[in-house]
Structure 1
Amino acid sequence: MTDYVTSADGTRIGFDRVGSGPPVVLVGGAMQFRAFDPSTTEMAGHLASHGFEVVNYDRRGRGDSPAESPITLAQTLEDLCGLIDELTEGADDAVALFGNSSGATIALAAAAAGLPVSKLVLFEAPLDVELGTEGAEYLGALRTALADGGSEAGIELYMADMPPEWLAGLKSSGAWPMVSAIGPSLEPDAESLAWTQSAPRRELWAGITQPTLVLVGTETMDFMEAAADSLVANLPHAEKRAIAASDHRWEPRTLALVIAEFLVG
């Protein structure tokens, strides 16, 4: 059954909680939410079996967390604050964050903003080059698409560089009415990626002192390897590890074990 926490502005954030032990919050990427992402739900169960309390939540503007647009990165971090308070009951305890894809850059932004984070696990953060302009340009294009064409236009822009049959297949599927509504929620993903290029990364991430595991698939794109190397080079306490994964996708049981080993260690 879905649980809810109320964010600072009154928005209700829906989440599932499974297991008991040290808390871990799963921060989804651009198109992830519980009703559309069974792999993360499965992974949460496996991670919980290793002795953790795992929260898998619908980010603002998705699934059981409906919200008015525009949706900002600052609001997304407030939502995470609410979840952390719920898990720690206002204590000084911290939670671990697992960020997938652009969810990894949101998790980084949370740590940089001073949220009580104990450790970070980041899977294939899709960073462009340091101090580049790609992130800011995409953020501007997304905001224009959402303003001019609404939510569906935001989804179409996000998928513009993917094989066209992917978007066509999604539009012809029964999931399209549900997925086509989440366009505004892509803005925090774009905003967090633009943030990673907004200043020298060593300076931008100097305050992120938490132990950090940077993951890449054994079969991945070259720019994902470069992004992982940039994270390790510029975060004070980060290590890189390759796991069996391909095409920006992981196997739930394998990933859960890797996360558990790092968090326990």
Structure 2
Amino acid sequence: MQTVTSQDGTTIAFDRIGSGDAGTVVLIGGAFGYRQVPNTVALAEALAEKYGLRVINYDRRGRGDSADSPGVYDSANEIADLRALVEVEGGAAALVGWGSGAVLALLAARSGAVPGVTDVVAFEPPIVVDPKDHVPPTDAEGKLRTRIAEGKRGGAAWYYLTKIMGVPMAVAGAMRLSSVWKGLVATADSTAHDFAVLKPFSRGETLRAEDWAALEAPVLLLIGGRSAPALTKGAERIAEVLPDATLRELPEVSNDPVAAELAPAIGEFLTRAR
């Protein structure tokens, strides 16, 4: 484990995997994720070993070994975290994200605040462009933050799953009874950061090309052929409005892919020039 200090003084922990002969990539996990999740580690190792990439596998603020900024939740801070990581790795890197991490990757590349973003890969960014799909309640942000401030991690995890992500109650209930629940509760405080990233794109509103014109880096949008349509609409729409985007469907993949299903598409895209 290594660390870097972000602009606001928050310590961000990361692992560096691979030689980097083919370039550097930063992996950006989604809600409840952290760098030691086995599937994330497997993806990092596959990209390093099979494609010659140097992979930065980090803990987003508020989870794992990274520090937090309690009560301060702003996507600009997470973009600054990415800038610190890219700078410490030489000033150039691709960003690869999934879930809320996919949206964060797109925002970072669009912002201009992270110089040196060479490419972006985004797997199913949960952007809600259809008001008929699940839209979080208008007071979701306040209710989530209140649960976190009161130390109700289980309540925060449940609220994020059901009210913000739209996971059906029966499915969330099964998760609460399974072995995964402990991990969700452990990282529940960080979901306020996830929602700070997603909130502007959770309202069922269409995307405008003029709002994304600044994102000039090549972007690969990945969707799973077995994912629910609501989970792929956002990726399909943002592919239409970005200046340089490719949309690719992975036919046998669901919204919870394993590393072996994602690594080839990501690795081939990031090493295409070579």
Query: Which TM-score band (shorter chain)?
Result: 0.7 to 0.9
Residue 260 of structure 1: CA displacement? 1.2
> Match for residue 180 of structure 1?
185
Specify the SS of the correspondent of 1:105: helix
> Match for residue 33 of structure 1?
34
Separation (CA, whole Å) in 1 of partners of 2:168 and 2:129: 24
Cα 1:107–1:218 shift into 2, 3 Å: same
* Matching of residues 162-173 of structure 1 within 5 Å: 162-164=167-169, 167-168=172-173, 171=176
Specify the SS of the correspondent of 2:187: helix
Separation (CA, whole Å) in 2 of partners of 1:66 and 1:182: 12
> Match for residue 222 of structure 1?
229
Q: TM-score w.r.t. structure 1 length?
A: 0.87
Separation (CA, whole Å) in 1 of partners of 2:81 and 2:224: 29
1:64 matches 2:71: no
Separation (CA, whole Å) in 2 of partners of 1:187 and 1:131: 22
Separation (CA, whole Å) in 1 of partners of 2:79 and 2:137: 19
Q: Name structure 1 gaps, 5 residues minimum.
A: none
8 Å contact 2:14–2:58 — kept in the other structure? yes
Cα 1:236–1:140 shift into 2, 3 Å: farther
1:207 matches 2:208: no
Residue 193 of structure 1: CA displacement? 1.8
Q: Name structure 2 gaps, 5 residues minimum.
A: none
Specify the SS of the correspondent of 2:55: strand
Work out which of the residue numbers 96, 101, 104 in structure 2 matches 1:103: 101
1:113 matches 2:111: yes
> Match for residue 82 of structure 1?
84
> Match for residue 145 of structure 2?
143
Quote the sequence identity (%): 36
1:243 matches 2:270: no
Equivalent AA in structure 1 for residue 19 of structure 2: S
Specify the SS of the correspondent of 2:122: strand
1:189 matches 2:188: no
> Match for residue 13 of structure 1?
12
8 Å contact 2:99–2:125 — kept in the other structure? yes
Separation (CA, whole Å) in 2 of partners of 1:211 and 1:130: 25
Q: TM-score w.r.t. structure 2 length?
A: 0.84
Separation (CA, whole Å) in 2 of partners of 1:246 and 1:6: 36
Separation (CA, whole Å) in 2 of partners of 1:130 and 1:235: 18
Cα 1:134–1:168 shift into 2, 3 Å: closer
Count of matched residue positions in the alignment of Structure 1 and Structure 2: 259
Equivalent AA in structure 2 for residue 254 of structure 1: E
Specify the SS of the correspondent of 1:122: strand
Specify the SS of the correspondent of 1:108: helix
8 Å contact 1:136–1:194 — kept in the other structure? no
Residue 163 of structure 1: CA displacement? 4.7
> Match for residue 73 of structure 1?
75
Residue 39 of structure 1: CA displacement? 0.4
Separation (CA, whole Å) in 1 of partners of 2:271 and 2:63: 31
Separation (CA, whole Å) in 2 of partners of 1:175 and 1:6: 30
Separation (CA, whole Å) in 1 of partners of 2:206 and 2:248: 26
Residue 173 of structure 1: CA displacement? 6.0
8 Å contact 1:128–1:135 — kept in the other structure? no
Cα 1:241–1:57 shift into 2, 3 Å: same
Residue 145 of structure 1: CA displacement? 3.8
Residue 54 of structure 1: CA displacement? 0.3
Residue 153 of structure 1: CA displacement? 2.5
